[in-house]
Amino acid sequence: MSNPLASKALNLQHLLAISDLNRPNIEFLLDLGEKYLDLSVQKGPAIKILAGKTLINLFFENSTRTEKSFELAGRRLGADVISMAIARSSVAKGETLLDTAATLNAMNPDLLVIRHGASGAPALLAQKVSCPVINAGDGTHEHPTQALLDALTLRNRLGQLDGLRVAICGDILHSRVARSNVQLLNILGCEVRLVGPTTLLPADADRWGVEVFHDMQSGLKGCDVIMMLRLQLERMAGSFVPSKREYFHFYGLDRTKLDYAKPDALVMHPGPMNRGVEISSDIADDPDVSLITRQVETGVAMRMAILHGLADANPGGVS
C-alpha cells in the first residue's frame, strides 16, 4: 500500500500517548497531516489508501468532534468504518473491556480507535488485539491526537512552533488535552505555561517542564498562543470553584485578559466550549484571533495522517 503522500515509514505500532512518539515520528505525522490539510482545502479526493481495511471506533465516552472526525478520516481514506454504539452493545450487558477486545479482535479490524473514561484502557486493549490502537482520550490521562492536531493547526498558521510561548489555561487537573499538549509542545520547542487556580492544577505541575501561574495577567504576559480548557464538571467530585460566574471573572478569557498577551496572540480551545464560563463568545467567534473552527478542520486531516501512517507502518498488524 504505497502512497506518494507517505515518503518515509513511521516507526510506531500504537498511538497511546505522546511518549510513544519521538521527534522524527512527530514530524512525519505533522508533514503527512499538512498534505491532507492541503488536499481538503483544495477539495481534492484523497487516495483510498485504506480501501479494504476496517476501522472500528469504540467510544465509551461521549464525543462529537473526535468520533466524527475519525469516522470521516477513515471514510475519506476508503476504509470500512464501524462506530460501536456502546449503549447498544454487549458492554451495556456487563461485558468487560477485555472480552469486548477479544470479540472485536476476532473480527480482524485493521485499526481500532478507543475513547474510555479509565486512564490506561487503550493501553490494556493494545495488549489484547493484533492491530494498531489509537487513544482518542482516556480518563484524565492523555489525548494524543488532539495534541497533534493542535500542533498542526499552529504550524500551519505560524510556520513553526519553536520558541512560541503557549499558555494552557483553566482546568488542567482534569484535562487529558493539557497532559498531551504539554509534552508535545515541549518536544517541539515551545515555552509552555499553565495558568489556573490552585484547586485546578495538579500537585506535581512544577515537574511537567512548565511555568505555573495562578493569575491570568502574569500568566498571559508575552504569550503567542492561549489554549483555553473546559471546566470539566463531569470529572469533579466535589466543588473546585466557588461559582461559574466567579470562575469567569478570574479565569474566563475576555478582551481584557486577551490584552495581557501579545497583540497578535491566537486563541485555541479543544471543545466542547462552555461559553461565558472559560471563554467569552466575543473571543471564541472572532476569526482574527480564534483558531477554534480551524482546529476542527485540521483534526480530520491530522487523523487521516495518523490512520494512514499507522496502517502503512503495520501492514501485517501488530504482534
Residues in contact with ligand ASP by the rule CB under 6 A:
137, 143, 176-177, 230, 232, 270-271
Of 234 and 264, CB closest to ligand ASP:
234
DSSP the chain: ---TT--S----S-B-SGGG--HHHHHHHHHHHHHHHHHHHTTPPPP-TTTT-EEEEEESS--SHHHHHHHHHHHHTT-EEEEEEGGGSGGGGT--HHHHHHHHHHT--SEEEEEESSTTHHHHHHHH-SS-EEEEEETTTB-HHHHHHHHHHHHHHHS--TT-EEEEES--TT-HHHHHHHHHHHHTT-EEEEE--GGGS-TTGGGSSSEEESSHHHHHTT-SEEEE----GGG-SS-SSS-HHHHHHHHSB-HHHHTTS-TT-EEE--S---BTTTB-HHHHT-TTTB-HHHHHHHHHHHHHHHHHHHHHH-TT---
Q: Cell 468487560 belongs to which residue?
A: 96
- Pick between residue 302 and residue 311 the one whose CB is nearest to ligand ASP: 302
What minimum distance in Å lies between the beta carbon of 137 and ligand ASP? 4
Nearer to ligand ASP, 10 or 253 (CB): 253
> Least distance from C-beta 42 to ligand ASP, angstroms?
28
Tell me the residue nearest to ligand ASP as measured from the CB.
230
163, 257 contact by CB (below 8 A): no
Give the CB-side neighbour count of residue 290, counting CA atoms within 13 A: 20
Q: How far is the CB of 229 from ligand ASP (least distance, A)?
A: 6
Cell of 106: 476476532
> Given the complex with ligand ASP, which of 35 and 143 has the nearer CB atom?
143
Q: In the complex with ligand ASP, which residue's Cβ is closer, 176 or 303?
A: 176
Q: How far is the CB of 192 from ligand ASP (least distance, A)?
A: 18
CB of 59 to ligand ASP, least distance (A): 10
Provide, rounded to whole angstroms, the least separation between the CB of residue 113 and ligand ASP: 13
Query: Shortest approach of ligand ASP to residue 153 CB, angstroms?
Result: 15
Residue 137 vs 252, nearer CB to ligand ASP: 137
Closer of 6 and 136 to ligand ASP (Cβ): 136
